[in-house]
A and B are shown apart, each in its own frame.
Chain A
Amino acid sequence: AQTVTQSQPEMSVQEAETVTLSCTYDTSESDYYLFWYKQPPSRQMILVIRQEAYKQQNATENRFSVNFQKAAKSFSLKISDSQLGDAAMYFCAYRKIQGAQKLVFGQGTRLTINP
């Protein structure tokens, strides 16, 4: 079974600084998707960024970028120029391409932005 591990329960960063959230996963699949979701106090899961495992290029979305290391099964999220609105729970998630299409989530990292 696939598992996703986020080893940092909490992180904090000064406004305008850069922070990196860690995620590792375990799978025997060669093709899959990885995601980072943001969950503010409202509890809605908001998609931040998506990475296809067959792509070597790391995905970027404005201030958000990932460092995808397939061999190490590592998928970290870098937030540049942190803003107060970035404060939330961040979840790393895995999804197979073939077969079961469900998302498997990590335990989450609570990110605090200090003004």
Chain B
Amino acid sequence: EAGVVQSPRYKIIEKKQPVAFWCNPISGHNTLYWYRQNLGQGPELLIRYENEEAVDDSQLPKDRFSAERLKGVDSTLKIQPAELGDSAVYLCASSVGSSPIYFGEGSWLTVV
């Protein structure tokens, strides 16, 4: 069974530029999460989807971050414009029901 797939794995951009990350969850997983992990810290939730509905986006900086999950499968996380402090690893994860949450390999963002 394929795991959670994320792309790109690595991205280096200049500040004020836009960037987008894509995630394909495990087949059949209706819950999708985006987490951000700063260096030396644990991941923190940005947004959680139940199917195509965003049910927890309280930690998403809505002035520059946006996310969508069309058709309740793949998801895209966008940052525009990026700031230096956005440098982090962006982790996508998925689950179904009370099953454990499984993570992708992450997208490393460096803003210079």
Contacts and interface: CB of A to CB of B under 8 A. Distances in A.
Contacts of A42: 105
B100 A102 contact: no
Interface in B34-58: 37, 40-45, 48, 56
Interface residues of B, number: 24
Interface residues of A, number: 23
Contacts of B106: 43-44
Interface string B84-103: 00000101010100101111
A84 interface: no
Interface of B: 31, 33, 37, 40-45, 48, 56, 89, 91, 93, 95, 98, 100-106, 108
15 contacts: A4-B42, A33-B98, A37-B103, A43-B105, A44-B103, A45-B91, A50-B100, A91-B42, A91-B43, A97-B98, A102-B48, A102-B56, A103-B43, A103-B45, A107-B40
